[in-house]
Structure 1
Amino acid sequence: MKMKKLLLLPALLLTLSVGNVACSYHNDDNPNEYPDPQPEPEPEPEPGPDINQKYLEAAYTSNCFMVKPGQSVDIPILKAFAMWNLYAEWLGETDLMGLTPEPVLLWQDLPGLITNVGLIPGQQAEEGSIAVSTADKVGNAVIGIRIGGAIRWSWHVWVTRYDPDAELVAYGKIYTWDNNGDGVVDYTFMDRNLGATIDKAIIENTAADSLAACGLMYQWGRKDPFPGDHDFRRSNSTDYNYFESKPIYDTSGTLLTEGSATGGTGIRSVKTDTDLTRTGLAKSILEPMTVLLGAEGYSDWYCSSKPAEIKKCDTLWCGTRGKTPFDPCPEGWRVPANKNDKFIWNGLENATTDYSALGVFPYAGFRYRAGGGCLKNSGFGASIWSGTPPTGIGNAYELSIYISPSEKRPIIKSDVSCRSDGQSIRCVKDA
């Protein structure tokens, strides 16, 4: 994706002192002439910060923070300022400098999961941080920063005891995978979906544990999660009115109801072309609780005909330098991409809720773009995003696992799905 280039202006100017005038000294008895004494040279100014470099570094910081129950995390807000500068061409020319940032809890999936959200006192606006404190519970929350009356960025807080980076992995496992059979490890996977609320070292094969292992759902290329199904429906039928996702709550513990474009206080499903004043990318940032459905004729939430014609962006999750500014995984992890000219999960032959060479793949189902964002297939199938898109507009590769009605067993395959669909993510170690 093309970024706006910023010009670095010099902050300091050298000045000459004119307060003292130096004179030449002449002595007719002395043939020597003494030149004017030279003033001490002005020290070179300290180099100012390279704004481009500072913002670029901030842009690549993570959008998800893993924190243990009962502990706190500080979230730097510089990324919000960086993204609205670097991506101004797509987000709109907006000057955020001088405006007061306001942190806000957008939602939590357990009442009282987040006990405090506030700016750390004494810090300058764009250099500030949000302090987030959690209760002794596991769950998920989304924290936003409001500047100038609008949400300018948001972060997922994953409250979990799982620590995949520990020398001895805590409360779970990690799995390695060789996708081309050459004996070289190509991926190191987490043992659970992003946002899973399982709180045990081993994910057992029970309905409750599998539901807790389902995690959250993401539209391809977006950083913000959406809650999945509240129960296993165990059907692949499409109910266009079925929006019974896992409950989410506001800061006071009030239930946020889910609905369509005109209903609900929580997650909403809206067609991208409903508002033609902003690009799809801008809407995805300004509206982190809105499922964006592709405009008529498109299956990609990113596409737009106005205010600027945008067909697609294939690098939202897979850039030339690896992990991208929109990647939803925690620091050190990323959405997996194809390697060796082969599919990520090439060679995976067994995958069910109770067994797989890569851990448990719960039947979380997905959010269906063609069904208006309704929930579908929970207890019946699993869809896990790949970061690699195929050629064409509106699709992305996925790992598809579903129960065959005829054979009564899981069918595992590489498939393509609409980028407006909401699916699970299984993060891999970022190389």
Structure 2
Amino acid sequence: MKKLNNYQFILLLGVLLLASCTDDRYEVNDSRPTGETVEVSFTYTVDKMLNVGENDIPLNGDGLLTRTVPEDLDGNDGANAEVKKMTVLQFNELDRFIRKSNATLGAGGAVSVDLTQCTGLSKVIVLANAPAKFSAVTPELGEQFAVVAKKVIELTQESDLYYVDPDDSKNYLFMSDIATIDFTAPPAALNLTFKRNVARVNLKLELSSFTLKSVRLRNVPKQMLLADQVSEKQSLVPYDTSTGENIFPFESGLIDYDVITDVSDYLNAGKYSFSWYVPRNEQGVITAATSKEKTKEKKPYATYFEIVVEDNTGYQATFSIVPGANNVVDYNLMPNKVYTTSLKVAGLGEDDDRISNLTTFEGYSNSYILNPPAVGKRTFAIPIKQVYKYWKGTAAGYGNESSVLTGTWEVSHLWSDVTATGVTVSTNSGSFNSTAEDGEFEVKVESSATNGNYIVALKAGGKILWSWHLWVTDYNPDAFTGPVDQAIYKYKVNGGYVDRYGSFGTGGLPWNPGGGYGNGVIMDRYLGALSDKHVFSKTGKSGQLYYQFGRKDPFCPPLSSTNIKTSGALKEIKEIVQEPQAFYTISVTTYGYQWTSYGSSIESGNIWYDSSLVDERSIYDPCPEGWQLPTSNGFLGDFRAGNTMYTGTNLAAASGAGRTGVGVRYWPGGDAEASNTNVVWYPAVGYISHWNTAGQPNGAPIGEITQAYDAGTCYMANTHTHLGIHLVYRPETSYFVANATIAPSSANPVRCVKKDVAE
């Protein structure tokens, strides 16, 4: 007997499957030929989606929302139960595909479809309202039923789940069912019960003391079965053999639906209501006792709500809530079911992994403003880019010693000017290493944290590689984003103001027209101060910070004698990077009262200023991200009399003879009658002495404040003949001097500017 080759066998199989098919139509009767076209009638109903309950999720100890019945899917949402089109995939008695037909939808719900006569039982997969990607699927002749039913269709967007009817332009949900036709007897009309191939997820949201910024559904499977309900009936839903669970999808094929920012459209009677349709996402269950344990991290492919809210300080928190059959252990979204999550947000909670109020910073800075939350705690991610920029840098004044960027690094608290409560420093992994150039450490600030200044350091083998100033304060100057108005000089922000120094009646402009600050603003207080009306002390107190010229790290007097370093030689800047607490002073005047050799040859001593950079802000600038020290060319030479007012007691007394509370109020607009809220305040804080002045009037030993209440000083970023340039004013004089000089080893307060805020 001659054997058939593979090609001949496949060809013969096709002939057997499709034998006697013609274009002739036969009525359904006992004598119809096999393979001919017959007309079969259908009736159908649509199964209502099963409500699996409303899961109330209280946060911060609040009570549950009142339960309400979820709106039925077949409501007026444009994706209802009406069938607009029907496609039938037919399989023969061997469960092999033989035909694809489009049904005819008649009046009164009557449906008919052309099928192929078979010799026995024939299965049909019926797709109702199949979206374009699904209706385009045509199995290969002879393809097995089980293979076709489990075909996976790739989705790219939410609209892939809908059929858009060309007549009314409405969206209709995709449904399916399976039926078996017995061709050994005249087949009766088929009765179908369609179920939707998608689940509905509802989010009901109520906020207290928060503003809703956005809502998004994330981790939606981009894989969907061709006929999900058919697969479920036939137990054909894919099975993950690696876990022993019915998990689908078990690959990370996920998409995010569009973010909703215009949330007012979803608000009714003080509550928000959102709904989405999603494919099957069956991720199993966990073992847990409370809803706090049901986090998106436990099942990385689970669908979840991402809810962004904002508190009254302008900071945001993100809630990640996973829907399911319950709010504790279940991570499954099953087709033709409705899942409703009710969430009431009254606070950020304590140690709740579903809540992320992480604030991240992008740039290279040496200080960061950390605003405590109204309730709970807020996490700030501090980048460590400065470490690499400095130690890998080869320019003058940089570390040029990349060999230190090895081993294990740790971040720890160095010192603070207040009792360090409510502020915790940590790293994600407990340590850093030399591959963590884009790494960060976390600072958690509780609502009960004490406002003040915290210095933290990154160390390798106990040696400091870099340090940062963390300014914990209610003041948020970044809240002002513009525009500036040339007639307005103070702008309200959270916790205070930002100022402009504009024109006034006499003396011209405090802002130099060519100095680059025409559209800029300046903080209403010294860096680190606890308020814009901060009252200073002659001996030092919290919020009273001073900087040696060019130093990125502050000092808060009185200084410990162990931190005062006197030397007869100039110091390398690398030494002060690794000793941020050391107050360096030189015992001889040969070097012009410098403390470092860097300033005597690089940029004419402008350690804080780098003209090679776009923003001219050097790696040592102590200001927060987005801010910098002003340069003297930004100011005119002085602020004239008639526009300032000195305050305090005993102003007529001789220098150092008991004056208290001395400072100067300055009206940028020249309005001396303006209320106190419209003025700029410069308290006369003096400076930290760099040499022993105890024998001089109002003198003080090294490291202590001198000339407090007698003079006000404020460093600028540049120098003049190796002397630090600063603002200075005295009660005995009638004006500020904006380009006075002082020994760079002295420590003065600083005030930060933002150069350009668009008009």
Aligned counterparts of 1:221 and 1:152: Cα–Cα separation in 2: 18
TM-score for both structures, normalised by structure 1: 0.66
> Which residue is 2:556 aligned to?
227
1:188 Cα deviation after fit: 1.2
1:147 corresponds to: 460
Q: 2:623 aligns with which of 321, 329, 332?
A: 329
Q: 1:299-336 CA deviation, whole Å, 9 max, x = no partner?
A: 111127xxxx9645523212213211110001111100
Residue 384 (structure 2) pairs with residue 77 (structure 1): yes
CA distance in 2, matches of 1:181, 1:115: 40
2:381, 2:713 → 1: CA distance? 32
CA distance in 1 between counterparts of 2:565 and 2:645 reads 34
**CA separation in 2, counterparts of 1:226 and 1:295?**
20
Q: Distance in 2 between matches of 1:159 and 1:324?
A: 24
CA contact (8 A) 1:303 1:312 kept: no
Query: Amino acid of the residue matched to residue 125 of structure 1?
Result: A
Q: Distance in 2 between matches of 1:419 and 1:328?
A: 15
Task: Tell whether the 8 Å contact from 2:608 to 2:618 is kept in structure 1 after alignment.
Answer: yes
Identify the residue that residue 384 of structure 1 maps to in structure 2.
714
- Does 2:583 match 1:291? yes
Alignment of 1:80-95 (within 5 A): 80-87=387-394, 91=399, 93-95=401-403
* Pairwise CA distance, 1:97: 3.6
Please tell me whether residue 129 in structure 1 is matched to residue 432 in structure 2: no
Of residues 154, 160, 167, the one that matches 2:473 is: 160
Q: Is the 8 A contact 2:370 2:471 kept in 1?
A: yes
The residue number in structure 1 matching 2:366 is 63
With normalisation by structure 2, the TM-score equals 0.39
Helix, strand or coil at the partner of 2:479? coil
* SS state at 1:143 partner: strand
1:325 partner amino acid: I
Residue 315 (str. 1) matches residue 315 (str. 2): no
Counterparts of 1:345 and 1:60, CA distance in 2: 34
Structure 1 gaps of 5+ residues are 1-57, 229-243, 246-257
Q: Tell me how far 1:368 sits from its aligned partner.
A: 1.2
Inter-partner Cα distance in structure 2 for 1:191 and 1:339: 20
Percent sequence identity is 24
SS for the counterpart of 1:165 is helix
Shift of 1:109: 1.2
User: 1:303 corresponds to which residue?
Assistant: 597
Higher gyration radius (CA): 2
SS at match of 2:726: strand
Give 1:361 deviation, angstroms. Answer: 0.7
Distance 1:292 1:130, change over 3 A: same
Q: Identify the range of structure 1 (379-388 vs 311-320) with the bigger mean alpha-carbon deviation.
A: 311-320
SS in 1 for 2:691: helix
Aligned to 2:527: 194
- Partner residue of 2:665? 355
Equivalent residue number for residue 39 of structure 1: none
Using a 3 Å threshold, how does the CA distance of structure 1 residues 343 and 222 change in structure 2: closer, same or farther?
Answer: farther
Equivalent position of 2:498 in the other structure? 174
For the 8 Å contact 1:59–1:83, the answer to whether it is kept is no
Task: Decide whether the 8 Å contact of 2:453 with 2:543 is kept in 1.
Answer: no
Secondary structure, counterpart of 1:173 in structure 2: strand
Q: Deviations over 1:53-81 (max 9, x none)?
A: xxxxx996111100013533221123212
Alpha-carbon contact 2:525-2:681 (below 8 Å) kept? yes
**Cα gap change, 1:127 to 1:165, in 2 (>3 Å):** closer
Which runs of 5 or more structure 2 residues have no equivalent in the other structure? Answer: 1-360, 481-491, 503-509, 647-662, 668-678, 693-701
Higher relative contact order by CA 8 Å / sep ≥ 6: 1 or 2?
1
Q: Choose from 280, 283, 292 the match for 2:572.
A: 280
* Aligned-partner Cα distance in 2 for 1:133–1:174: 26
> Aligned equivalents of 2:417 and 2:423: distance in 1?
13
- Which residue number in structure 1 is paired with residue 545 of structure 2? 216
Amino acid at match of 1:315: N
Q: Could you tell me which amino acid in structure 2 is paired with residue 413 of structure 1?
A: V
Distance 1:65 1:84, change over 3 A: same
Q: Is the alpha carbon distance of 1:418 and 1:181 closer, same or farther for their aligned partners in structure 2, counting shifts above 3 Å?
A: closer
Supply the distance in 1 between the matched residues of 2:536 and 2:744 (Cα, whole angstroms): 29
Separation in 2, partners of 1:96, 1:181: 44
1:265-308 Cα deviation digits (max 9, x unpaired): xxx1213546x8xx52111201100111136222111127xxxx
What's the offset of the Cα at 1:226? 0.5
| 1:324 aligned partner, one-letter code | S
Per-residue deviation, 1:194: 0.3
Secondary structure (helix, strand or coil) at the match of 1:285 reads helix
Q: Report the equivalent of 2:689.
A: 368
Q: Secondary structure at the match of 2:471?
A: strand
Which residue matches 1:8?
Answer: none
Q: How far apart in 2 are the matches of 1:120 and 1:96?
A: 22
Task: Give 1:397's aligned amino acid.
Answer: I
The 3 A distance-change label for structure 1 pair 214 and 140 is closer
Kindly state the Cα deviation for residue 153 of structure 1 after the two structures are TM-superposed.
0.6
Measure, in 2, the Cα distance between the counterparts of 1:345 and 1:214. Answer: 27
SS in structure 2 at match of 1:361: strand
Distance 1:288 1:59 in 2: 23
CA contact (8 A) 1:186 1:339 kept: no
Residue range with higher mean Cα deviation, 372-381 or 146-155: 372-381
More strand by share: 2
> What is the aligned partner in structure 2 of residue 17 from structure 1?
none
2:666 maps to amino acid: S
